[in-house]
């Protein structure tokens, strides 16, 4: 169980890195049409994420590759069961990338407006879908005795035995995730930009923060009712109760840093909140990797993992690979300008 647990943590860490790093891209996208009022300001926002947005997505690919290696049964089962939303996510990722790369190709107002809406809309829907996906994993799916399931987009919006992608619980998680990413993106803007955009971003963060805190607390309470098994690990490992407390503690510090114009510290506090919430979910479902509504049919690290020999050999490659990735990202972010202004010279 040790190697399986190590890979459970490794995959969780890569997914957390993706949420923190690509999450502020989503937040910038969702605020793109509201914080930036002119073409120069919108180009400025895109420049603030331009050097890193596609690199941030590497963590999602890395997590998918690690799942294929460490938990192949989980990957096969979840990809077939979530076939419909996965196709939607692929198209949304495509339109989000096109929105960033295509808007400057033609100097036409209508062309730019179309790709601005595509970028902003795709970012919003991706945040909603990824939040709903987290809700599905925590709530559990309608697994059959043969180890398969298919999740329709919705059933009756109630949490029962026949589950869909969307119900009242997964929508609540989606609202909590989306508002948290709006806060995350707004803090990036307030940290990395200057002028009126910074002030508009702060105003947006103040509103989104209230929604994020309220929906986050509601999600925690709802989780205890929808998936009471999350308390089993707390009973065995009481220190696990500190994880959400640390996360919410970081979230409650955001207005303090915002009022003092400490955008970087506010952004780091937001990152800590996101990591804390994801770690709470992972801690709650462990050792399951895909809970089922019938607990006996759940996929756990024991019955979903690959051969122990393969897990051990791969670990020797994973450690130096992650070290190189961390060094590269450290250099990439460190070489970016401290701030971006709308009147900066634009290569496009």
CATH number for the segment(s) 2-334: 1.20.1630.10
Mean pLDDT, rounded, for 98-114: 92
Q: Is the pLDDT of residue 73 over 90?
A: yes
Number of H helices and E strands in the chain, helices first, is 15, 2
- 49, 191 Cβ separation under 8 angstroms: no
- φ/ψ of 291, rounded to 5, equals -65, 150
> Which has the closest alpha carbon to 32: 116, 103, 107, 105?
116
Q: Is the pLDDT of residue 345 over 80?
A: no
- Summarised one tens digit per residue, pLDDT across range 289-330 is 999 999 899 999 999 999 999 999 999 999 999 999 999 999
Query: Residue 12 belongs to what H/E stretch?
Result: helix 2-35
Q: Is the pTM of this model over 0.85?
A: yes
CA–CA distance, 336 with 179 (Å, rounded to integer): 27
pLDDT at 285: 94
pLDDT at 71: 96
Confidence at 347, pLDDT banded by 50, 70, 90: low
Q: Is the pLDDT of residue 348 over 70?
A: no
- Summarised one tens digit per residue, pLDDT across range 113-157 is 999 999 999 999 999 999 999 999 999 999 999 989 988 888 888
Sequence-distant (6+) residues with CB within 8 A of 287 are 1, 4, 5, 8, 300, 301, 302
| pLDDT above 70: percentage of residues in the chain | 99
CA–CA distance, 181 with 62 (Å, rounded to integer): 21
| 3-state SS, residue 283 | helix
DSSP single-letter state for residue 292: B
- Domain definitions of the chain by residue range: 2-334
Confidence at 164, pLDDT banded by 50, 70, 90: confident
- 32, 124 Cβ separation under 8 angstroms: no
């Amino acid at each position: 169980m040790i190697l399986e647990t190590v890979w459970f943590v490794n995959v969780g860490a890569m997914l957390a890195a993706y949420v923190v790093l690509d999450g502020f891209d989503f937040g910038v996208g969702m605020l793109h049409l509201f914080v930036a009022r002119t073409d120069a300001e919108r180009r400025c926002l895109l420049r603030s994420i331009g050097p890193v947005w596609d690199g941030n997505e590497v963590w999602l690919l890395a997590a998918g590759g690690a799942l294929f290696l460490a938990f192949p049964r989980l990957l096969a089962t979840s990809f077939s069961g979530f076939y419909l939303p996965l196709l939607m996510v692929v198209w949304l990722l495509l339109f989000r990338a096109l929105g960033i790369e295509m808007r400057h190709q033609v100097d036409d107002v209508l062309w730019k407006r179309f790709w601005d809406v595509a970028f902003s809309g795709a970012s919003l829907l991706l945040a909603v879908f990824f939040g709903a996906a987290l809700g599905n994993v925590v709530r559990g799916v309608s697994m059959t005795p043969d180890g398969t399931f298919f999740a329709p987009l919705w059933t009756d919006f109630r949490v029962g035995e026949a589950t869909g992608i969307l119900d009242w619980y997964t929508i609540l998680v989606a609202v909590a995730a989306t508002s948290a990413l709006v806060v995350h993106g707004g803090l990036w803007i307030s940290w990395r930009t200057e002028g009126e955009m910074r002030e508009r971003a702060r105003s947006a963060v103040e509103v989104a923060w209230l929604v994020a805190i309220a929906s986050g607390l509601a999600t925690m309470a709802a989780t205890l009712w929808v998936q009471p098994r999350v308390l089993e690990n707390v009973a065995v490992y009481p220190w696990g109760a500190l994880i959400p407390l640390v996360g919410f503690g970081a979230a409650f510090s955001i207005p303090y840093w915002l009022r003092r114009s400490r955008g970087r510290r506010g952004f780091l506090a937001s990152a800590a909140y996101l990591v804390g919430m994801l770690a709470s979910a992972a801690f709650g479902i462990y050792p399951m990797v895909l809970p089922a509504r019938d607990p006996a049919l759940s996929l756990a690290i024991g019955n979903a993992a690959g051969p122990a020999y393969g897990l051990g050999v791969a670990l020797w490659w994973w450690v130096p690979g992650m070290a190189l990735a961390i060094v590269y990202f450290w250099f990439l972010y460190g070489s970016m300008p401290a701030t971006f202004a709308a009147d900066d010279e634009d290569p496009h």
